[in-house]
Structure 1
Amino acid sequence: MYDSIHRALHTRRLDGVSIRAIAPFPSAKRPARDSVTRKKAREKFPSGLWGTIMTSSDGGGERPADTLPGYRTAQDVAGEEAVQRFVDALGPVGGHIADLVIEVVFGKLHGRPGMSHTEREIITLAVLAALGGAEEQLTMHLRISHRLGISPAKVIEVFAHTGAYAGFPRALNAVETAKRFYGDLGMLPLEQQQH
């Protein structure tokens, strides 16, 4: 567990494509500059030794996001279009962040036994409401919760419970975000919805 948490992240441009290697901290070696192709980089740094080697686009290459660990789980949970929108939205500037989210959140966390995707999504909604200032992410997770069949009434109940621990102003902001989301879907008033 220690090794998976403490990792060093290195990025190098090889043949017009960014190669990112995740290596154990602190003795991480950087990819050699003499590698010319992704194939050579993969041969030089096999995933068993280095963790994962992924590519990301900086405008000059193709980022095979569908090869990331967790990509299939992300599609199952959030939907294929939502995952593609997320990856495209971050694009060349934040593609590595999309890679990390898909790899860690969906590859590692959602893949763990012990809780369903629905239970994990309810926790995510509560945490985002408690954080405050994450309305865009909250909206995205409201979309995912709707896809997973979590009722609007249950979502509002999650926010009410969160308010007792994180503060009612944050809970009220989350409710306002939910009102906009469910309003766009034509699902208001929420009182008519079942748990």
Structure 2
Amino acid sequence: MTDKTETPSEAYGRGMKTRRSVLGDAHVNRASSAATPFDQPFQTLITESAWGTVWSGDHWTKRERSMVTIALLAALGHHEEVAMHIRATANTGASREDIREALMHVAIYAGVPAANHAFKVAKGVFAEMDAEKA
């Protein structure tokens, strides 16, 4: 569990470690190098809160968090983030079958159009990932 009395630097350090383990060094390095004084506070916020608290919790596995995150992003229509988190499954252990099942839940609970587009995004990402392996 996360200690609520810790300093932001502890949450940031833990978040950066988790963020790198999920998204990979290349992605995090690109995001970090693209940060400006305008959006640096936002980068710090997501590193501390999303990655340092939510993704670093010890109750769910990264695989479970990955499936839930993909389903939520798909349901909300955040297609670029869906693609990013599908790529991250190479690091989280969520399988293509896990992703399919998460998107099937999206179809039932958030709507067929949201799931339909997310399936399209997933198929494109899988094709890119397969091409990179070849």
Instruction: Provide the C-alpha distance between the structure 2 equivalents of 1:84 and 1:155, rounded to a whole number of angstroms.
Output: 26
From the superposition, tell whether residues 165 and 151 of structure 1 become closer, same or farther in structure 2 (CA, over 3 Å).
same
**Residues 103 and 118 of structure 2 are in contact (CA less than 8 Å); yes or no, is this contact kept in structure 1?**
yes
Identity %: 29
Partner of 1:168: 112
TM-score by length of 1: 0.58
User: How do residues 35-184 of structure 1 correspond to structure 2 at under 5 angstroms?
Assistant: 51-52=7-8, 68-69=12-13, 70-132=15-77, 134-184=78-128
Q: Tell me, in whole angstroms, the C-alpha distance in 2 between the residues paired with 1:163 and 1:155.
A: 12
1:184 deviates by 1.2
CA RMSD between the two structures: 2.3
Change beyond 3 A, Cα 1:170–1:110: same
The DSSP-based 3-state class of the residue aligned with 1:159 is helix
Which has the larger helix fraction? 2
* Aligned residue number for residue 62 of structure 1: none
TM-score (norm 2): 0.81
Deviations 1:27-61 (A, max 9, x none): xxxxxxxxxxxxxxxxxxxx97xx537xxxxxxxx
Normalized per residue, the structure richer in strand is 1
Q: Which runs of 5+ in 2 are unaligned?
A: none
User: Greater relative contact order: 1 or 2 (C-alpha under 8 angstroms, separation 6 or more)?
Assistant: 2
Displacement of 1:107 after TM fit? Answer: 0.8
Q: Which amino acid aligns with 1:94?
A: D
Aligned-pair CA distance for 1:164 = 0.1
